Every structure is written in structure tokens, then in C-alpha cells.
Amino acid sequence: MSKVTRQILSIEDINFSKMKLEEAKASDYSKYMDMSFANYEQPDGTLSTLYFKTPLLDYMIGGLPPAKDRDGNDIEYKDESDRAKWRCYLGEAENEKKMCNKISEFQDKLIKDKGIIVGKKDEKKFELENILGETTTKEGETLYYVRFNFRVDRKTNEITTKFFVRKDGVDDEISIKNVSDFESKFRRGEFRYRLIASVSKIWKQKKTPGKYGASFTVEQMLIEMRDDITSVNAKNLFSKSQFDSEENVSSITKKIETIDMSKHIVDDDAEDADDADDAEDDSKVSKKINADDDEDEDDDDEIKPSKKSTVSVKTKTVRKKA
């Protein structure tokens, strides 16, 4: 049998009419839900997993679930791998609008094909768990976001998603085994990123009435450090005395004053507090549907890169929970 060559599509190039959905059925991977796969018709007519690339996105909001709540108390997770998720907020940039529209198209397809996924006789017993999340800022602006899962080895609880840092046009792989590894290397506001993700499963709860939906898994994450903000890293500037000469202090002050800090610095404490509220909501949903606890383990072949309704959202750094 010839090996199937999978393409990785830019998200704006996905044609969801080529996606074939099947009824979710009992699986050895989960005792809480039934599952099936979303197959995508490739150029040669074969059906296989859909892999797609996101645009390059700024990491100013969202990201990993927070470890602590608003009061500084630890949020209870089953284990650290339970935080191996990524919330991607979509702003006003043109490529982010295109991504938002494509995710919305997929959501519409899940609604249209509900009878296929849950079974025609059970259609009225299930409600879609939205894959395009929505929240509101204090100013009344609507924000949209998408949840992704990092791939995790359930035997070791280690993240198996591949991570790369791009420098001078070269992508160097780095080792990220858990959320703590990621947090020790990268901070919000310091980099841009791009994901290669898969539509890893279609699911429905075993209980009725219940939810049904789809899950995205991050196969690779590309990180590009932002040159426009690395010069204001106070931790590095003041790791040792800077009082050797007045010239040093003067040059540091000038360097910081030449940058509009409001454009690049996010209040991590305020942002994490808002994320904590969202994490508590997500935790309640996760406990109800167990959709993330039982992530399937795919033994996929190596994937090869491809050769080749408008939603207006405004990104804010302060928001309240949905």
C-alpha cells in the first residue's frame, strides 16, 4: 500500500465541503464520550486527518491556563498536563479575521452535520460545545478565541508537541516537556507564534442530554521572539549593578524612553487574574464532558508541509469572564 502524503494547509485555504464527518461511536480512549475522526479529502482523493497552519499571532493575551486564581491560590488541576492547553485570541489583524471566519465555518458545519455526528434519532438531545469561544470586555467589546490542546503522552504526562524558535530564518527545535518548561522560557508579550494543528477528533458525551464538538491538537509551535521589546527587559538590565558610570544609567534610561511601552507591555497580573476566571469556567466544563482528559493518542506518520461570514473583533488586554 502506498503511503498517503498529507498536506498542511494554511487555515484560509481549507474547504470544509471536503471534510467528511462520521457518527461518534464508543472508543477505548474514553469511558465518558464517543468519538470519531474528521477526514479531509486530499488532492489525490484520499481521506486523512486535516492539518492546518495558523497565521503568525501576537502573544499578548490568552495562552496557557493560569496556575493561580485571582486571590493567589493554586487552581486545582489533576496534574500539570491538565494545563497543556492554549487559548488563542483573535484580533483585528486581517489574517486573524480570516482565521476567525474559518473557525466559524467549521462550527457551522458541525451544526449542519449534527445528525451525522450524534445520530439522527438523538439530534434533539445534544447541543454543540462551541469551538469559537466568545467573551466580552469591560468596554462591551466582543472577543473571540479558539482552544487548542498540546499533544501529551498519557503514560508519562509529558508534552510531545514539537516546539521551534526561529532566529535569523533558522528554526531550532527546543525541548518543552511540560507547562513549567514553557513558562520558564517564555513570557506573554515577548514573542509571536504560529501553530500547526490537527482536527484530532469529533466527540459526543455518552450521557443525554449532552454536548458534542471537535478538538484541535497542536502538532508543532513556532516561536519568534519580538525584537521590538527585548531591549526593555528590566530583569536582564538590572541583574547586576548599573552604577559603574553615569553614562550607563543614562544610556539605559534613553533606551527605555524611546519605546512606547503601552503598545508592548501587558499587565501580567491583571491578565492572569482574568484568565483565572476563564480557567475556572473551563475546569467546570472539562469536569462535565471530560473532553480534554481523554485525548486520543495518534500514531501518525510524519506529516509533510504543503507547497503551497466576516467577524470584526477588537483585542483588549482587560476583560471579564464570559
Could you list the mean pLDDT of each consecutive 10-residue stretch along the chain, which spans 322 residues?
A: 69 95 89 92 92 93 87 88 93 90 96 96 94 85 92 94 93 95 90 95 94 97 79 52 53 46 42 52 46 40 38 41 40
Question: What SS3 state is found at 242?
Answer: coil
> For 56, which DSSP code?
P
Q: Cβ atoms within 10 A of the Cβ of 257, count?
A: 9
Closest of 145, 157, 187, 132 to residue 82, by C-alpha? 157
CA–CA–CA angle 12, 151, 215 (5° rounding): 50
pTM: 0.72
The pLDDT value given to residue 136: 82
Contact of 210 with 24, CB cutoff 8 Å: no
Residue appearing with cell numbers 500547526: 196
CA distance 277 to 69: 7
CA distance 224 to 16: 30
3-state SS of the chain: helix, strand, coil percent to 5?
Answer: 30, 30, 40
The pLDDT value given to residue 193: 96
CA distance 151 to 163: 11
Distance between terminal CA atoms of the chain?
Answer: 49
Residue 76, exposed/middle/buried by CB under 10 A (0-12, 13-18, 19+)?
exposed
E strand or H helix that includes residue 19: strand 19-20
Question: What SS3 state is found at 22?
Answer: coil
- CB-facing half-sphere around the CA of 282: CA atoms within 13 A: 31
CA distances from 190 to 53, 194, 236, 268 (A): 21, 14, 14, 12
User: Which sign, positive or negative, has the C-alpha torsion 122, 124, 125, 131?
Assistant: positive
CA distance 93 to 86: 20
CA–CA–CA angle 303, 181, 160 (5° rounding): 25
The pLDDT value given to residue 244: 56
User: Cis before residue 305, ω within 30 degrees of 0?
Assistant: no
The pLDDT value given to residue 31: 86
